Amino acid sequence: MAFNLPGQAPVEVARRVGRHGIAVTAGHAYAQRLANEHLALPHGVVRASLLHYSNHEDVAALMHALAQD
């Protein structure tokens, strides 16, 4: 899942979430040209890997971390 928060740099969001023990990445996810030229996202996005092994508690922890600070 890729997302941005209004007015917040993706790398700063990733650092903040990381302080809560949740690993996400920030950047262009190997699609820098797409992000820059077509999506107007020069700083990329925050990417959380939510897959078949993620559960409700994982999503709740991510949402809680995003709501902090």
Domain span at residue 24 reads: 2-67
CATH number of the structural domain spanning residue 27: 3.90.1150.10
pLDDT band at 16 (very low <50, low <70, confident <90, very high): very high
Overall number of domains in the chain: 1
Q: Write the pLDDT tens digit of every residue in 18-64.
A: 999 999 999 998 888 888 888 888 899 999 999 899 999 999 999 99
What pLDDT, on the 0 to 100 scale, is given for residue 6? 94
Q: How far apart are CA 18 and CA 39, in angstroms?
A: 26
Rounded to an integer, what distance in angstroms lies between the CA atom of residue 16 and that of residue 4? Answer: 13
